Amino acid sequence: MFSTQHFKLVIVAFVAMYSATASSDDSFYKTREKGWFWYETNPEPEPEPKVIPPQLPINKPSETNQEKMVEINAEWLKANLPELKMKAINSPTKENLGAFFAAQRLMLDMASRFSDKSSEYFRTSGNFLSEEHRRPTESYMLSKFKRDREVQAKPVLEKIGMKGGLWFFYSSTCPYCAKQLPIMKALANVFKVEVLYVSLDGGLLPGIPKDKVVFDTSGKAAADFNIQVTPTTVLVSKNADTFKVISLGAASLTKLQTHIVENAHSMKWITDEEFQSAQHIRGTNTLENGNLSINESDVKNTSILSEILENKIDLSSSPIGTPFRRGK
C-alpha cells in the first residue's frame, strides 16, 4: 500500500512531466482549430548564391578580323605588273626587282599554259575553229590554195577590167616606180586590166608601152588625185567619174589584187560571191547567217555557247577539206 508520502511523490512527478509535455507541444494545441490533418513544415533555408569567378575574354578570330586573301591571277597581274615595274625602275633594290621579275615569270607561265592548252584544244575538239579552214599554213596546202586563188581571181579581175582600169602615177627618176613596173605589166597582160601610165615629170621608164603613157607636166592630174608619193596606183572607172586609191608606194601583186577586188566590190562592180572567191583568206566559213544569237540565260554557259557556235560554223569553203554530210 502506498503511504501518504509515496502518494505525494507520485503527484509531484506527474505534474513535472505534464509541464514538460505541454511546453514542447504548445504550438499544436494553440493551432488545433486548423483541424486534425493540418500539417505545417518549417521553411527550408535558401541556398547561398554561387559565386562564379570572372572569365578572361577569349579572342576568337572572326570573319571581320580575318585578313582577306588575294589571288594572284591574270587580272591582278594586269593591274599590278606595271606598278611593280615602275617601282623596280625607280628603286631597283633586290626586293623590288625580285617582286617584278617574279610577277613577270608568273605571267609568262600563265601565257605558256594558255598556249599549250589552246594547241591541245585545236588539236582535239576545236578543229572546227581552226584558222586552217580560212587559210592553210602548211606549205604544201598553202601552195595549192594560192594556185586555186589565182584561178578564181582571174575572171573576177577580168570583169573589173571591163568596168574600169588602173592609173599608174610615176616619175622617171623614182627607183620604186621601176620596181613596180613588172607587176603593173602582169596585171595588164595576165588579168586583162588596162593600165594607163601617167608621167609626172615628162620622162619614161624602160618597158612602158609608149601608147599607154600620158604626161602630166602641168600637175593638174596630180592635184586632182592628190598624189603625194610615187608610185601611186588608182582604180578609175571607164568614164573617170569614180576612183579609188589602190596603193601609195610600191606594192606586191597579191596586195594590189586584194585592194583592187575590195574597192571594186565597194563600188558594186562585182557580186559578193565573186568577191569571196578572190580572197586570199576565206571569210564566209565562220558564221552561216550573220551574227550569233543566244538565250540571255545561256550567255555565261561556255558549253552551250561552244555547241551553238559549232553548229553554225560553215566549212563549205574550207581550203583543206570537203564537208561531209551524214546520211547523204
C-alpha–C-alpha distance, residues 235 and 254, integer Å: 16
- C-beta of residue 201 within 8 angstroms of C-beta of residue 228: no
| 231 closest CA partner among 217, 212, 252 | 252
Residue 236 corresponds to which amino acid?
V
Architecture of domain 139-277: 3-Layer(aba) Sandwich (3.40)
Residue 219 corresponds to which amino acid?
G
Give residue-wise pLDDT tens across range 106-136.
999 999 999 999 888 888 877 777 777 666 7
- pLDDT > 90? residue 146: no
- C-beta of residue 199 within 8 angstroms of C-beta of residue 214: yes
Give residue-wise pLDDT tens across range 3-19.
556 555 545 555 455 45
Pairing of strands 195-199, 213-215: parallel
Give residue-wise pLDDT tens across range 254-302.
899 989 999 999 999 999 888 887 776 665 445 555 566 777 787 778 7
Mean per-residue pLDDT for 202-220?
91
Q: What is the pLDDT of residue 38?
A: 47
Considering the entire predicted model, what is its pTM? 0.53
Domain range list for the chain: 74-115, 139-277, 282-323
Share above pLDDT 90 across residues of the chain, in percent, rounded to a whole number: 40
